[in-house]
Amino acid sequence: MAREGRLYIGGGWVPAHDGAVAEVRDPATGAVVGTMAQGGPAEATEAVAAAAAAFPGWAATPAPARAEALRRVAALLGERREAIAALMTAEQGKPLAEARGEVGLTADYFLWNAEEARRVYGHTIPASTAGKRLLALRQPVGVSAAITPWNFPAAMIGRKIAPALAAGCTVVCKPAPATPLVACAVFECLHDAGLPAGVANLVAGPAEPIGEVFLTDPRVRKISFTGSVRVGKELMRRAAASMKRVSLELGGHAPFLVFADADMEQAVAGVIASKLRNAGQTCICADRLYVEARAFEPFMAALAERVRGLRVGPGTDPATDVGPMIGAPAALRAERVVEEAVAGGARLLCGGSRLPGPGHFFAPTLLTDVPSGSALEAAEIFAPVLAAWPFEHEEEAVRRANDTPFGLAAYLYTRDLSRAVRVAEALEYGIVGVNDPVPTVAQAPFGGVKESGVGREGGAEGIAGYLETKFVSLALDPGPSGRG
């Protein structure tokens, strides 16, 4: 049955003022999954007002009570895992097993931050004089806006909202237009967990006018964004006008280094897990494969054989390894980039084009001999397409891996412990997976360096992003001894 998503403002599910809705379609079939109410500046302003009104009460709620509410959200996500995963597969396309994993990760964000809410410690500082006491308090930043992408439609909400709520902030979330119904399902858990009205709000609709409210309303104190580098830069530039806090989780262009001493079977499986999860539409997925020259040909042959055997299809089919891409423009762009590389002399080992519809399927693609200057070398492809190059020695591998403006995730496969430590330390990235293709967990800091963003989400660093430090200097009366 088609779902009808509404906005969630001030504790109630509401339509847009003008009744506007947008259709949400299944990328595997083109079928209508449901509709989502389309708010605009007026609804976004109402949501900010609701969050601002709820803020003093939520900030003053004892941490154990905030933690309890977040634990209930995690439990509800667990209970509704199958239903939310099925909706996610219908709306976003990823295979059901991956969707289940994402709902589990979302629950983890709520659970971990529920625990962390109880450990938001300040500290005392030795004073310079006997009559003073110095305290550093940690307090919630205030109303926080979260702008989330379609590729992890539940986990990105959890990664932003759970630490914000744990810290005592109230939130307004704008989900991506392709995946608002999963956002509604997550917010149903927040509602049913009994969060007070206005503590968490959801406003879908056109990005720019809603973003404009977040950027200009003085009640919004922080903007947390996950998405492209282009939009992230624009938000950061504009947030500077009122000095709002920003945390930006932006695109990557991950290098994946395979040294000749690596366990080759593990490395082949690692490349596939990293690159083809979510049909290559993952910010931390392998984007540039560098293999030590003496292992290059056999490694690529083994990898191509495995990739050719993968099944591309709808995420609802348990036999599917790789689901559809999110939409026709993304699949067409990937095809054009591959065609240009091949026209310039690249060698296609497998895949290379879109597959027959009705969905937006793309054959998993491997390329070597990619001409220099190709778009594949310059920036993330965000598709099931991987280009590979041989390297001669460790220094060359590190230099080529770092030769990019991006710095989100990098991977290396080796059995040499000293090399693993050396290379992990030399890679200019926020996340390094050593013999590990899937490094994301709720308790670890996630984020990029260079143009891949600022700030960290997840772990203790994630909640710190929603806290301000306030210094309180107490001058005491002299007291009976006269010394304070």
Of 79 and 208, the one with the shorter C-beta distance to ligand NAP is: 208
Of 46 and 287, the one with the shorter C-beta distance to ligand NAP is: 287
Active-site residue, from 173, 184, 189, 283: 283
Which residues have a Cβ under 8 Å from the Cβ of 417 and sit 6 or more positions away? none
Checking phi first, is residue 159 left (phi over 0); if not, alpha (psi -120 to 50) or beta? alpha
Residue reference for tokens 């154990």: 64
Instruction: Annotate 392-424 with b (16+ C-beta within 10 A) or e (fewer).
Output: eebeebbebbeebebbbbbbbbbeeeebbeebb
**Least Å distance between CB 479 and ligand NAP?**
53
Instruction: Annotate 214-233 with b (16+ C-beta within 10 A) or e (fewer).
Output: bbebebbbbbbbbbebebbe
Give the whole-angstrom CA distance, residue 209 versus residue 428.
35
Of 147 and 363, the one with the shorter C-beta distance to ligand NAP is: 147
- Name the nearest CA neighbour of 11 among 166, 221, 192: 192
Is 249 among the residues known to form the active site? yes
Of 225 and 299, the one with the shorter C-beta distance to ligand NAP is: 225
Of 72 and 159, the one with the shorter C-beta distance to ligand NAP is: 159
**Least Å distance between CB 9 and ligand NAP?**
18
- The continuous run of DSSP H or E covering 472 comes out as strand 467-475
Give the whole-angstrom CA distance, residue 94 versus residue 127.
56
Give the whole-angstrom CA distance, residue 38 versus residue 389.
45
**Least Å distance between CB 213 and ligand NAP?**
10
Helix (H, G, I), strand (E, B) or coil at 291: strand
Helix (H, G, I), strand (E, B) or coil at 28: coil
Task: Work out the number of other CB atoms within 10 angstroms of the CB of residue 89.
Answer: 26
Of 202 and 268, the one with the shorter C-beta distance to ligand NAP is: 202
Query: Which residue has its beta carbon closest to ligand NAP?
Result: 211
For residue 358, cis peptide bond before it (omega within 30 degrees of 0):
yes
**Least Å distance between CB 206 and ligand NAP?**
6
Of 335 and 457, the one with the shorter C-beta distance to ligand NAP is: 457
- Amino acid letter for position 269: A
**Least Å distance between CB 453 and ligand NAP?**
6
Of 51 and 300, the one with the shorter C-beta distance to ligand NAP is: 51
- Amino acid letter for position 165: L
Strand ranges across the sheet with 21-25: 3-5, 32-37, 21-25
Beta-bridge partners for 354: 362
Active-site residue, from 249, 335, 380, 457: 249
- Site for ligand NAP, rule CB under 6 A: 147, 149-152, 176-177, 207-208, 211, 226-228, 231, 234, 249-252, 283, 380, 382, 408, 448, 453
**Least Å distance between CB 249 and ligand NAP?**
3
Of 251 and 465, the one with the shorter C-beta distance to ligand NAP is: 251
**Least Å distance between CB 14 and ligand NAP?**
20
How is 238-264 classified by DSSP, letter by letter? HHGGGT-EEEEE----EEEEE-TTS-H
**Least Å distance between CB 396 and ligand NAP?**
26
Is 283 among the residues known to form the active site? yes
**Least Å distance between CB 462 and ligand NAP?**
12
Give the whole-angstrom CA distance, residue 359 versus residue 29.
5
Encoded tokens for 236: 């950061």
Task: Work out the number of other CB atoms within 10 angstroms of the CB of residue 294.
Answer: 11
- Known catalytic residues are 249, 283
